[in-house]
Amino acid sequence: MRSRPSHRRTPHTHRRAAAVALAGVAALIATAVQSGSATAAPEQTPAAASKAKPGSESVRLTPAQRAELIRQANATKADTAEDLGLGAKEKLVVRDVLKDNDGTVHVRYERTYDGLPVLGGDLVVQGDSAGEADSVVKATRTAVTPATTTAKVPAAKAEQQALSAAKAEGADVDRAPRKVVWAAEGKPVVAYETVVGGLQHDGTPQELHVVTDATTGEQLYTWEAIQNGTGHTVYSGTVDLTTTQSGSSYNLTDGARGGHKTYNLNRGTSGTGTLFSGSDDVWGNGSASNAESAAADAHYGAALTWDYYKNVHGRSGIRGDGVGAYSRVHYGNNYVNAFWSDSCFCMTYGDGSGNANPLTAIDVAAHEMTHGLTSNTAGLNYSGESGGLNEATSDIFGSTVEFYANNSSDVGDYLIGEEIDINGDGTPLRYMDKPSKDGASKDAWYSGIGNIDVHYSSGPANHFFYLLSEGSGTKTINGVSYDSPTSDGLPVTGIGRAKAEKIWFRALTTKFTSTTNYASARTGTLAATGELYGTDSAEYKAVQDAWAGINVGTRSDGGGGGGTSYESTTDVTIPDAGAAVTSAISVTGRTGNAPSNLRVTVDIEHTWSGDLVVDLLAPDGTVYPLRSRTGGSADDIKETYTVNASSETANGTWRLRVQDQARYDTGYISGWSLTFP
């Protein structure tokens, strides 16, 4: 049993965040996660309740406007860290910034501890201006307080362990071990991060990150930074290309799109290659035997993807800074793949089996370029469930860019790899309507999905996007027949691809973090949908239903079990021995009174839970006691209470009220929900 400390802890002062927490920000409407479905990741705090109004979308920032917002965020990052309750040794590093048309600003930060990078410490803060902390999404809720920052294991041992983990041809250390704080899983510890190069089994370059506990020498985590995905190689016919004239010659430099360039590796596997140039402005002849044909496809695909993100989502370039990445074609010999690399800020394409089918089609370019976007926004770890979501994001936007292109030689579809015939039998590589048709991908979430290859664990997210866009059942789109089932056997009505792509992009750029899993992706897309269309909209209900259709959460009408839930996942700090605080949930769209078996699910992080008094407040102020100074020294309150609220009108603002009535221990309301059976 834990004894009480003999001294009082000094609670941290939250100047802005506490004020917002008490203001009763509009809450999400979301369904409870059903038994056997994906459950919320304990390390993630989605900004479920935001002050963004329905219809909020990101505005198109010029490079100068973006730079100014970044400057403002940098100028206030110390205050922001204090508002978020970060410790004295924790600092924020600005990574990205977005601004909505209602003025809301989203700033993405990395974190350091005592000068060390914190892997898994990333977060997104939302507020009225750069640095305002009205709500936050964190990759980890765990306090970043490692027991020590002193390494007991020599860096050389971590280096050898990393080389052993690589199992790659010609494995060598690209980047020597650097000391970090590992916070993406479990209790934060001091660790080494080593990057190992070499070649993967199919000839793809390797940038394997290996994290080693610097105290015990245990290998904690690995992930691959080279992010690849095979798409179909289909020529796009005769297209217009933006090029640059230099004297009497032309070259594949797109001055209208951040200076994007296309290079020829000429079967090599290293370096930048040679910039494509010629005496005329005609590129290729439509045959794979002509080196310029693949270059024309890659150049065209990169331009389409740039235009798509700028015109549909208001983002200028992968980093949002107006700077173009570059493309490399003719990588290796008989290389049947394509990949994105952060280290070169480039997309690279092989020529396929027999060097006859270059992987340079529209959706391949969009897929690889989107890996770059993900790396510079959510930074989804390329491993486990987050890796599946990373890969699915590239498939999703590979498909939407293909639809956006409206190219008669390569019509938009929800199939991946249907033209290149990688399988040798004319079948696509991946199917979004029913992923399991490829023989390896999964249609729905299950508890072990994070243990399979990310190209197959992407299946449920691809399936979710198809269901949200087009709905379940059979249909024909652009001449392609689809038949999409659901895991619960109930139908899903689609809202159209135009809305679905807006939802996924907003969730990716403002809600997802490096550790986002399927459950927290559901929460993030619901938050994004609420901001775009409202929490009582048909779109919001469709998102709930589409997730339920892949076994993540329950339906908007209670189908699949659990009832209809209304949820808040905004953190609210509980002052030590201080005044009571509340967290609000707005219930709308119901008729009559609340039920006699209203379920109140509470998630409170607090040491010594016996200090707390917890009540439910009805819209008219009636108090329903849930817990009063019970639990003793046990940490946290994660319980569901049943309340007879049949005398209360269902619609209105319900509040969870919590008060700490003793000294020394601290915590916060992590989230809570009301479930109407």
Active site residues: 368, 455
> How many angstroms separate the CA atoms of 503 and 526, rounded?
8
Q: List the structure tokens of 36.
A: 């056997």
DSSP string, 517-565: -HHHHHHHHHHHHHHHH-TTSHHHHHHHHHHHTTTSS--TTSTTTT-EE
> How many angstroms separate the CA atoms of 199 and 222, rounded?
16
Q: List the structure tokens of 130.
A: 């750069």
| Greatest C-alpha distance within the chain | 84
> How many angstroms separate the CA atoms of 475 and 100, rounded?
36
Q: List the structure tokens of 650.
A: 């269902």
Question: For residue 335, which of 398, 394, 425, 420 has the smallest C-alpha distance?
Answer: 420
- Are 127 and 50 spatial neighbours (Cβ–Cβ below 8 Å)? no
Q: How many CB atoms lie within 10 A of CB 282?
A: 12
> How many angstroms separate the CA atoms of 219 and 130, rounded?
38
Q: How many CB atoms lie within 10 A of CB 408?
A: 8
- Are 140 and 181 spatial neighbours (Cβ–Cβ below 8 Å)? no
- φ, ψ at 342 (rounded to 5°): -65, -35
Q: List the structure tokens of 166.
A: 């690589």
What does the radius of gyration of the chain's CA atoms come to, in whole angstroms?
26
> How many angstroms separate the CA atoms of 203 and 333, rounded?
9
Q: List the structure tokens of 124.
A: 């997104």
Question: For residue 152, which of 125, 189, 123 has the smallest C-alpha distance?
Answer: 189
CA distances from 596 to 28, 166, 521, 675 (A): 23, 58, 32, 11
